[in-house]
Chain A
Amino acid sequence: MATDFTFPDSGAKVASARTEAATGATGEFQTEKMSLSMGPSHPSTHGVLRLQMELDGEILTKADPVIGYLHRGDEKIAENMTYNQFVPYTDRLDYLAPLANNMAYAIAVERLVKLEVPARCQAIRVLTAEMARISSHLMGLGAFALDVGAWSVLLYCLEEREKLYKLFEELTGARFTTSYTRIGGLARDVPEGWLGRVNVFCDQFLPNLEEMLSLLTRNKIFMDRTVGVGVITKADALAYGLTGPNLRGSGVPLDLRKDKPYSGYEQYEFDVPVGSTGDCYDRYLVRGEEMRQAVRIIRQVITKFPGGPWYATDARKIFAPPKDKVLTSMEELIQNFMLVTEGPQMPAGEVYFEAENPKGILGFFIVSKGGGVPWRLKIRSPSFCNLSILPKICVGCLISDVVSILGSLDFVMGECDR
């Protein structure tokens, strides 16, 4: 006996639920709403994001991100320590690109005291920030691919990232929490032969990157999961303060390295890739191209690597003198003592500096009353702003689309919650 089932057309159901979600009207398919909590420990929420979702079948009618699980009070801590003591805390903001955070923080404090660091120091900072960009995008790409079902891409990405971490370890002594910058300079100069090894990395990285991207770019499954999913319009991206690859994926060519160059970015040639539709696939393409451009910048830095001092030698009240001098000369010993105990002496004033980090624009707003301790330090974190658009773009999506969207936004909760 043949059973006569009639299945509703799933396409029509999705369309009707989307109109219902948008207009609030109840249509032909009346279902009971279900609420579902995703996270804070869910593999696709990349850390401790929790999404409180309201579902109609498999379609989201409401999404409320719950954040704060990784809140450590970095801004309060900053008010209670000297400027240099805060450098290790910046590692723990976007912990996938600590070198870029270190640089943004150091430049912000240097702007406060109007200190220009020497060309060699600037070049090293640019070099490390671009290496951090590659390592952050590799992790973002690998995790995104993993979320939508492509296991192997993650392994390729981690292998390349490991090579970068070896280079970071040689430069800074740490693989993850680098704490490499100081106010007015760096922790140390580049080791001998290190630039050559970075160059070797670049040579082998580009073909490997092409291989990795070729696993995804024309992959039917990957395209089905990402093309046309999580579309962010230009106007929405600006209204919600999105920055970085997420804003550029929506077609806004805002890149502070081009628009407000800092640390000598104006000397290097690179292109700013932008997307056309602002969907998950565009954000993926933008990140892929940014890695190629980062390699381009790294090569230019190595080619024109300047000589000279690697810290501001004339800023005696800002940068601690070299250790060999501290142990042999009275003047330097006192200077070192004052810097360690009272911190680098800053004038009173306010400064706001933003840097183009891998995840977006990282800003530091510092209010100083003079002395070695900030009165107020506000961190404008890109992940916080990028996530604030979730309630807007998730409505009308399938649950599986949410996974794609989260992967494509590439956020880090350490930075979002601070």
Chain B
Amino acid sequence: MSADTTTALKAKFPQVTDRPSSDHPAVNVPVADLFAALQYLRDERAFDLLMDLTAVDWAEGVSPRFTIVYHLYSTSSASYVRVAANCANDAGPAVPSMVSLWPGANWHERECYDMFGIKFEGHPDLRRILMWDSYPYHPLRKEFPLAGIETPLSDPEITQETGTAAIAAPMAGGPFVAAPGEINMTEGEPRAKDESWADRRARPDQTELRQVKD
């Protein structure tokens, strides 16, 4: 059943390619075919549950930078399929919204927009969901430091009264971990991943970080 799904999908959409995967059948779909492909999976292949929708940031300077990943589950055949799509525009990534297929995609897409700044075209209400509405950054992007960046509070009145702001967490040099995928022993040795405190790299400035706003 699962192998059939990817074969059928590839027959219907010639642009679809296999995605390396060790657990569930997985495909790469171009953004242009994404909506039609997911609709086909839902209606013809009985993938009735949109389990998860998320994005992966492959770091600044890598192109394509953002990949959006869907996990669908079929209650009738008890199988998963992973659908991935690379966003074409690294500076202003956008993909079609799936809210008309699964209303449950609404919050997932809002979260993805909040955390990565990916636009979902056709979304009925694309607002931030976890961070407050006036928050200027997208925290799960790789250039965003672990400690956070000092940001004014959501309510200007409170900011004025108290003079406080949402401040970056004191990292105290931690956490000490090895970088993923390093082969060089010196580079791979455990060190504080967030080096904004150290002399090795200057603390990221507010202006340095791209502020992605509407």
Contacts and interface: CB of A to CB of B under 8 A. Distances in A.
B177 A376 contact: no
B175 A80 contact: yes
A188 interface: no
B180 A375 contact: yes
A77 B174 CA distance: 11
B107 A384 contact: yes
B181 A370 contact: yes
Contacts of A341: 176, 178, 189-190
Interface stretch (B4-12, B20-28, B30-38, B157-165): B20-28
B61 interface: no
A76 interface: yes
B113 to A, nearest CB: 13
B130 A241 contact: no
A75 B140 contact: yes
B180 A371 contact: yes
Secondary structure type dominating chain B contacts: loop
A319 to B, nearest CB: 18
Interface in A362-397: 363, 365, 367-376, 378, 380, 384-385, 387-389, 392
Contacts of B136: none
Nearest to B26: A350
Interface in A325-384: 341-343, 348-354, 361, 363, 365, 367-376, 378, 380, 384
A111 B23 contact: yes
Contact of B104 (A73, A240, A342, A378): A240
Contacts of A240: 102-104
Contacts of A33: none
Contacts of A373: 177-180, 193
Contacts of B71: 352, 363, 365, 380
A350 B82 contact: yes
B137 to A, nearest CB: 11
Contact of B178 (A73, A82, A238): A82
A16 interface: no
A67 B139 contact: no
A385 to B, nearest CB: 6
B103 A392 contact: yes
Which of A111, A342, A368: most chain B Cβ within 10 A? A342
B153 interface: no
B181 A348 contact: yes
Interface in B58-116: 69, 71, 73, 75, 78, 80, 82, 102-104, 106-107, 111, 115
A42 interface: no
A229 to B, nearest CB: 21
Contact of A241 (B49, B111, B115): B49
Contact of A343 (B103, B104, B178): B178
26 contacts: A68-B132, A71-B130, A73-B148, A76-B140, A81-B177, A82-B178, A85-B175, A112-B22, A238-B75, A241-B51, A252-B75, A341-B176, A341-B178, A342-B178, A349-B20, A350-B21, A350-B82, A352-B23, A352-B80, A361-B51, A369-B180, A371-B188, A372-B180, A375-B56, A388-B107, A417-B130
Interface of B: 20-24, 26, 48-52, 54, 56-57, 69, 71, 73, 75, 78, 80, 82, 102-104, 106-107, 111, 115, 128-132, 139-140, 144, 146, 148, 175-182, 188-190, 193-194
Interface of A: 67-68, 71, 73, 75-77, 80-82, 85, 111-112, 114, 236, 238-242, 252, 254, 259-260, 341-343, 348-354, 361, 363, 365, 367-376, 378, 380, 384-385, 387-389, 392, 417-418
6 nearest CB pairs, A to B? A241-B104, A68-B130, A369-B181, A240-B104, A371-B180, A259-B78
Given A259-B75, A365-B52, 19 more contacts: A68-B132, A75-B115, A82-B177, A112-B22, A239-B104, A241-B102, A241-B104, A254-B75, A342-B190, A343-B178, A349-B20, A350-B21, A354-B73, A370-B181, A372-B178, A373-B177, A378-B52, A380-B71, A389-B104
